Amino acid sequence: MDASRRTPRQFRSAIVPAAGLGTRFLPATKAVPKELLPVVDTPGIELIAEEAAQAGADRMIVVTSPEKRGLATYFDEQPELENTLAQRGRFGLLEKVRNAAKLLDVGTVVQRRPLGLGHAVLQAESVLGADESAVAVLLPDDLVLPHGALDAMATVRERFGGSVLCAIEVPADEVSAYGVFDVAATGEPDVLRVRGMVEKPAPADAPSTFAAAGRYLLDRAIFGALRRITPGAGGELQLTDAVALLIAEGHPVHVVVHRGTRHDIGNPAGYLRAAIDFALQREEYADSLRGWLHERLNAR
């Protein structure tokens, strides 16, 4: 799927905030950044890079902490390994090993202190080109499937201008885990105008059950807004609050409602679901896994 052929390209850089400690995955994250944990055999961050590249990005800017600087080396070529695989005729594996480095350019910026998602995104501003009027942000905890949400968001930005986010409908008692939208109809199915946005509201205060799903196509104006917000939910600088500030100042913001699958791989329960979902789509694992799951569930 090549979005750039259908709509003029709205962005070329994808920011991927990946500076978190991965506390929900301790002890594994003592040694391995959570973005490198494999979904079946492929690290989550490679899946994110694939999605960004398919949507037209040619550069991924990974925001890391000082301790996780090594994260992006995953995208380097590995000549020795590649030679060995080639000599042994393991061409299927060779292709898999080479995939990450071929997707897009990968650079890092360091977030020195854990001051929140908004602060993480702000760190990437300094490496954007002067002509980049919008940027994509992909949260690596969220797998949004099938790919295509960013294409739909680019089409909406082309039509309405401003910024476009991805929304999913969540159960009312789960809203406090998300940024939640106050929305109005546009007349187009699954495209809503955003009147306001609030980070992690109590269920009673939530303006809707439409929640942010970790995909953002943000007008460059977001960086000015990120500099003007103060710490919000959890004492952190929230991307949600910068979006809310833009809306209050008259900047158009819309959401595309995603009706497909979304996995939260930032916690073990969601990660396991994603792994099973992906494995069930892989010919070499599907039959035996399905059989074993049936057996296991019936044996309860």
Q: Map the footprint of ligand G1P across residues 205-234, applying CB under 6 A.
A: 211-214
If one asks whether residue 139 binds ligand G1P (CB under 6 A), the answer comes out as yes
Could you tell me how many residues make up the chain?
A: 300
Q: Site for ligand G1P (CB under 6 A): which residue of 11, 74, 75, 178? A: 178
Whose Cβ is closer to ligand G1P: residue 12's or residue 34's?
A: 34
Whole-number minimum distance, CB 215 to ligand G1P, in Å?
Answer: 9
Among all chains, which residue has been given the structure tokens 């939640």? 180
7 Cβ neighbours under 8 A, 6+ residues apart: 151, 154, 155, 158
Strands (E), 156-252: 163-169, 179-185, 191-199, 210-219
Return d(Cα 152, Cα 141) in angstroms, integer: 21
Q: Site for ligand G1P (CB under 6 A): which residue of 43, 140, 162, 179? A: 179
Q: Map the footprint of ligand G1P across residues 85-114, applying CB under 6 A.
A: none
Q: Amino acid identity, residue 103?
A: L
Q: Could you tell me how many residues of this chain bind ligand G1P (CB under 6 A)?
A: 14
Tell me the two tokens of residue 64: 């890391």
Whole-number minimum distance, CB 200 to ligand G1P, in Å?
Answer: 7
Whole-number minimum distance, CB 236 to ligand G1P, in Å?
Answer: 9
Per the CB < 8 A criterion, the answer to whether 109 and 127 are in contact is yes
- Site map (CB under 6 A) of ligand G1P, residues 111-130, x = contact: ------x-------------
Whose Cβ is closer to ligand G1P: residue 33's or residue 179's?
A: 179
If one asks whether residue 44 binds ligand G1P (CB under 6 A), the answer comes out as no
If one asks whether residue 151 binds ligand G1P (CB under 6 A), the answer comes out as no
Whole-number minimum distance, CB 132 to ligand G1P, in Å?
Answer: 23
Q: Amino acid identity, residue 117?
A: L
Pairing of strands 210-219, 261-264: unpaired
Identify the CA nearest to 68 among candidates 115, 123, 29, 38. Answer: 29
Whole-number minimum distance, CB 171 to ligand G1P, in Å?
Answer: 14
Q: Site for ligand G1P (CB under 6 A): which residue of 240, 253, 258, 263? A: 240
Tell me the two tokens of residue 98: 């080479």
Per the CB < 8 A criterion, the answer to whether 215 and 151 are in contact is no
Contact residues for ligand G1P (CB under 6 A)? Answer: 117, 139, 141-142, 178-179, 199, 211-214, 238-240
